[in-house]
A and B are shown apart, each in its own frame.
Chain A
Amino acid sequence: MLILRSGVQLLLGMALVVFSLIVWVRHPTLQACMSALLAFLFQAWVVTLVAGIHNGRHQYDLLSGYLLRYPCCRFREIQLQDLPTRLPFSSVFHVGLGSLGLSKVSDTLRVFVVRPRQECEAPQQIKSYFPLGADDHLGSYVFLKSSPKATSGIQMFTTLHEVGHASLGSSSDALLMMAMPALCGAGALWMLLAVELSWMSVGLVASFAVVSWTWSRRHLSPGEALNLRKELVADAFALQLMRDSDIASLCRWIDRGGRLPYDQEYGGRAAAHRHRTFLKLVDERLANPRYRSPRLALPGPWYAVVALALVAITAWWGREPGWAELLVKATLLVLAPWLITLTQRKIVMRQELQIRRFLVDLCGDRPPAAEPTDQF
């Protein structure tokens, strides 16, 4: 079932390509083939752009929201591999099978313990900042408040939970989910330009836009539901890595009245839901020693099925593109967007360099794991 849902998600993410391929089947010409290729490039660019915007934002937040806010704190790096876990980290990070390649987050993730100095304000949260998509040049960062005690289940849990967020960011499924609203919008626009204009075809494209917009609003917008979902995935990730003794310690802590701290952005109802689901996950983990955290499944699958069906039906009104139209699309798609993406990427890489230099200063004389180069 999960594979089916992931398949629908992937197909809808590639709605443009699906549309263009059906048009190609109906009009088996070179122009239609070129159009499908351009559709693939267009959707790849949309995903890259969404990831780029998120990653630029992530770095801005990291610099202005954390590093520059607490420059007086003492940062001490700890090695992820030193944490006592049931499974090696490299075996449990989500590996995306999309167009973005394999994830190497366990190599790029850095964990710091942030301690206040005299007369210095310290952050009140345990934080993680991670880029979206598998990108070896961009680092994920976790900032703890104290070194996790190996005997404390809750401290191991909170540490691994934040590490789990970085794992989620590395998943191409997660990226696809984030990019889905933009992909659907771009798909509707593309289809409108590629169909024989009639009341029926325009109505179908409009229906696709409405269904995918409703779906995005209800399940994919970065609101409480999606955030809560991310938290639960990170919880599951932490539980699969924790040793049995740590789970037992965590259970004792809960029995003594402990409740998971949650972000103040969530309402009380979301927090209660999260706590209930967390307890269920703990029970599952206790019942199954070989427990593996679930991959992200598509939320609201029926919306996606209807949207995909609308794409397939609309494709019957698809017309064979002319050479002039293809040339205009190729010029617009190949030149301008990639130039924007490359410029944006250069900015992101510069910011990454700045972050690493800043962390070297905050840590003292410890060199960073790897310096990014200007070659990318």
Chain B
Amino acid sequence: MTSSDSTPAPIVAVLQEAFPVEAELLGDEVVEDIAAGHAFGRAEGGSSIDLGTTLAALTVAAQFAVAALELYTLLKKNDKEAPTCAVFESIVEERVETSLDSVQRTRVTRICHRIYSRQ
């Protein structure tokens, strides 16, 4: 996730707005780490609360948000005017190579809406 290093702030905001429950569990600082592209590993021993699943989900979401943001910027640049939210969403969904289930579709829609509303 190289481009996220240059644009962590909008990605942080998108993640916090699109995934409020997960972002609250992790805390603001950790969401910033995800947006900045930090890697996370598993420590051994002791007792633990494992945030691995949430971290992995938000990391993927952050990568997706970065790609979607780049796509939006490109569309806006090429067409001289911003695409509508519905058009942007359908273009993003077209680019996603795997078929989305209802939960994934909701997540994608949420991220697209947040990016659209913040631009």
Contact status of A261 and B28, CB under 8 A, knowing A121-B38, A122-B33: no
Residues of B in contact (CB 8 Å), total: 28
* B24, A152: Cβ atoms closer than 8 Å: yes
Closest partner residue, chain A, to B5 (CB atom): A118
Contact with B along A319-342 (1 / 0, CB 8 A): 000000000000000000000000
Closest partner residue, chain B, to A164 (CB atom): B47
Given the complex of chains A and B, what is the CA–CA distance between A365 and B27 in angstroms?
A: 26
Chain B neighbourhood of A154, CB < 8 A: 24-25
Q: How far is the CB of B16 from chain A (nearest CB, A)?
A: 12
Chain B neighbourhood of A262, CB < 8 A: 49-50
Residues of A in contact (CB 8 Å), total: 47
Contact status of A115 and B29, CB under 8 A, knowing A61-B45, A66-B45, A162-B47: yes
Closest partner residue, chain A, to B42 (CB atom): A124
Chain B neighbourhood of A366, CB < 8 A: none
* A66, B39: Cβ atoms closer than 8 Å: no
* B28, A149: Cβ atoms closer than 8 Å: yes
Task: Indicate if A299 sits at the interface (CB-CB under 8 A).
Answer: no
* A127, B48: Cβ atoms closer than 8 Å: yes
Chain A neighbourhood of B42, CB < 8 A: 123-125
Contact with A along B29-60 (1 / 0, CB 8 A): 11001000011111111111111111100000
Chain A neighbourhood of B27, CB < 8 A: 145-149, 152, 155
> Which B residues between 66 and 101 are near A, CB-CB below 8 angstroms?
none
Task: Indicate if A69 sits at the interface (CB-CB under 8 A).
Answer: yes
Given the complex of chains A and B, what is the CA–CA distance between A161 and B21 in angstroms?
A: 19
Task: Indicate if A128 sits at the interface (CB-CB under 8 A).
Answer: yes
Task: Indicate if A253 sits at the interface (CB-CB under 8 A).
Answer: yes
Q: How far is the CB of A143 from chain B (nearest CB, A)?
A: 8
* A122, B41: Cβ atoms closer than 8 Å: yes
Query: Pick the contact of A124 from B24, B28, B41 — CB < 8 Å?
Result: B41
Closest partner residue, chain A, to B31 (CB atom): A146
* A258, B24: Cβ atoms closer than 8 Å: yes
Given the complex of chains A and B, what is the CA–CA distance between A363 and B47 in angstroms?
A: 22
Task: Indicate if B9 sits at the interface (CB-CB under 8 A).
Answer: no
* B45, A146: Cβ atoms closer than 8 Å: no
Chain B neighbourhood of A165, CB < 8 A: 47
Task: Indicate if A257 sits at the interface (CB-CB under 8 A).
Answer: yes
Closest partner residue, chain B, to A158 (CB atom): B49
Task: Indicate if A116 sits at the interface (CB-CB under 8 A).
Answer: yes
Query: Pick the contact of A146 from B29, B43, B53, B54 — CB < 8 Å?
Result: B29
Chain A neighbourhood of B29, CB < 8 A: 115, 145-147
Chain B neighbourhood of A261, CB < 8 A: 25, 49-51, 53-54
Task: Indicate if A44 sits at the interface (CB-CB under 8 A).
Answer: no
Contact status of A263 and B49, CB under 8 A, knowing A122-B41, A258-B24: yes
Task: Indicate if A237 sits at the interface (CB-CB under 8 A).
Answer: no
Task: Indicate if A234 sits at the interface (CB-CB under 8 A).
Answer: yes
Q: How far is the CB of B11 from chain A (nearest CB, A)?
A: 17
Contact with B along A38-63 (1 / 0, CB 8 A): 00000000000000000001101110
Q: How far is the CB of B110 from chain A (nearest CB, A)?
A: 13
Contact status of A162 and B49, CB under 8 A, knowing A65-B44, A122-B41: yes
Chain A neighbourhood of B40, CB < 8 A: 121-124
> Which A residues between 126 and 141 are near B, CB-CB below 8 angstroms?
126-130
Query: Pick the contact of A125 from B20, B21, B25, B48 — CB < 8 Å?
Result: B48
Interface residues of B (CB under 8 A from A): 20-21, 24-30, 33, 38-55
Show 20 residue pairs from A and B whose CB-CB distance is below 8 angstroms, ordered by the A residue: A66-B43, A66-B44, A70-B43, A116-B33, A122-B38, A123-B43, A124-B42, A125-B48, A126-B51, A127-B48, A143-B43, A145-B26, A145-B30, A149-B27, A152-B27, A162-B49, A234-B47, A261-B49, A261-B54, A263-B50
The 5 residue pairs across chains A and B that have the minimum distance between CB atoms: A61-B45, A65-B44, A146-B27, A146-B29, A125-B48
Q: A66-B45, A121-B39 are in contact. List 18 more A-B contacts (CB 8 A).
A: A57-B45, A65-B46, A69-B43, A121-B41, A122-B39, A124-B40, A124-B43, A124-B51, A126-B49, A127-B43, A147-B27, A147-B29, A149-B27, A152-B24, A162-B49, A258-B21, A261-B25, A264-B53
